Amino acid sequence: MNQELWTAVDEYFTKAFLPSDAALDNVLQASEAAGLPPHHVAPNQGKLLQLLSQIQGAKRILEIGTLGGYSTIWFARAVLPDGCVITLEVNPQYADIATYNIARAGLAEIVDIKVGTAIDSIRQLVQLGVAPFDVIFTDADKPSNPEYLCESLKLSHPGTIIIGDNVVREGEVANAACSDPKVQGVRQFCDLISLEPRLSATAIQTVGSKGYDGLVLARVMY
In the complex, the smallest distance separating the C-beta of residue 142 from ligand DHB, rounded to whole angstroms, is 6
Binding residue count for ligand DHB, defined by CB under 6 A? 5
C-beta closer to ligand DHB: residue 134 or 165: 165
**Residues 102 and 76 sit within 8 Å (Cβ to Cβ):** yes
Taking alpha carbons only, the member of 108, 48, 106 closest to residue 74 is 48
Listed in sequence order, the residues at least 6 apart from 64 whose beta carbon sits closer than 8 Å to its beta carbon are 87, 88, 118, 122, 136, 137, 138, 139, 140, 148, 152
Task: Note whether 10 and 42 are within 8 A (CB).
Answer: yes
User: Where in 116-145 is the site for Mg ion (CB under 5 A)?
Assistant: 139
Of 3-11, 149-157, 158-166, 180-188, the window that binds Mg ion (rule: CB under 5 A) is 158-166
Task: Name which of ligand DHB, Mg ion, none residue 123 binds, using a CB cut-off of 5 to 8 Å depending on partner kind.
Answer: none
User: Binders of ligand DHB among 37-56, rule CB under 6 A?
Assistant: 39
Residues in CB range of 159: below 8 A, 6 or more apart:
56, 134, 219, 220
Site for ligand DHB in 108-167 (CB under 6 A): 139, 142, 165-166
Binding residues for ligand DHB, rule: CB under 6 A, are 39, 139, 142, 165-166
